Structure 1
Amino acid sequence: MGRLRAAPGEPLVQPFMDALDTINGIAERSDGFIWRLKSDEGNATSIAVEGDPRLIPNISVWRDVQSLEHFVWNTLHRAFYKRRAEWFEVLERMYFVMWWVPEGHQPSLDEALARLAHLEEHGQTDDAFGWSYLEDAGMWRTHACAQVAAE
């Protein structure tokens, strides 16, 4: 999740909002993509987290680590990730968590928030983890951007 620096529709975050359909389309056409959380509008920006309309979720399911890594670091997504400080505040708590899901399962926002809380409380475990927990993940080490916002 991330907290926008301004409300959706404000000029400050409009470049991010304008790119959502393109980035989400790349994800959906990517090898290994299975599912993503979205509202009737086609993205998750209208799904407020904790009653805060600027705190927005991003939940997706991928077949494997390599597919997710490819999308994150080797597509247009990376260029927008590099610009995240323009659109997102620095959060004082964990914002990113991964976990294994059974085939066919579509995680809920409540489930994601519970996994995030688990990670904050217990650190990385098989139930909640980040990139560094995954032996098969390596691109985050060489492709990640400087930690300037929402990390």
Structure 2
Amino acid sequence: MPPACYPKLDDTERFAMTLSLWDDLESVAAFAYNGAHAEALMRRKDWFQSLGLPSYVAWWVAEDHNLDWKEGSDRLDHLHAHGSSAFAFNFAKPFDASVIRAALIAQRWKPRRDRMRPCRNKPLS
């Protein structure tokens, strides 16, 4: 399920999507910007058309959370529409894991989802 912000592609155009879980931002950054993955990133313009859209999104989840493609697409669309936030962010304006801890605490005290309010944390400097 491609993000809604991406244009509809015909049969000759492709884009890559992955969905993975990481324990911390340092680990994913070390993977993304070193070794074979970094070499591939340097050549991405040879393989993919630049669309001027976010190419990745990050967010914090609870340890028992199950990811799916729709959630990833929705978060990427949110990043595109609203910029980096605690809900969906990038490495340029990351948020720390306290976002998920605050949400879990709120959930314990107010178990009804309709009463929960989003955390309004500031990005890390």
Superposition TM-score tier, normalisation by shorter sequence = 0.5 to 0.7
Corresponding residue for residue 68 of structure 1? 28
Q: Following superposition of structure 1 onto structure 2, how do residues 2-151 of structure 1 map, counting pairs within 5 Å? A: 49=2, 52=9, 54-134=14-94
Q: Are the counterparts in 2 of residues 94 and 120 from structure 1 also a CA contact under 8 Å? A: yes
Q: Give the gaps of 5 or more residues in structure 1.
A: 1-47, 137-151
| Structure 1 stretches of at least 4 aligned residues deviating more than 6 Å after TM superposition | none
TM-aligned CA deviation for residue 85 of structure 1: 0.9
TM-aligned CA deviation for residue 82 of structure 1: 0.6
Q: Give the gaps of 5 or more residues in structure 2.
A: 97-125
Q: SS in structure 1 opposite 2:21?
A: strand
TM-aligned CA deviation for residue 135 of structure 1: 6.8
Corresponding residue for residue 119 of structure 2? none
State how far apart, in whole Å, the 1-side matches of 2:16 and 2:92 are: 24
TM-aligned CA deviation for residue 131 of structure 1: 0.4
Letter in 1 for 2:2: V
Using the size of structure 2 for normalisation, the TM-score is 0.61
Over aligned residue pairs, what C-alpha RMSD do you find? Answer: 2.3
TM-aligned CA deviation for residue 92 of structure 1: 3.8
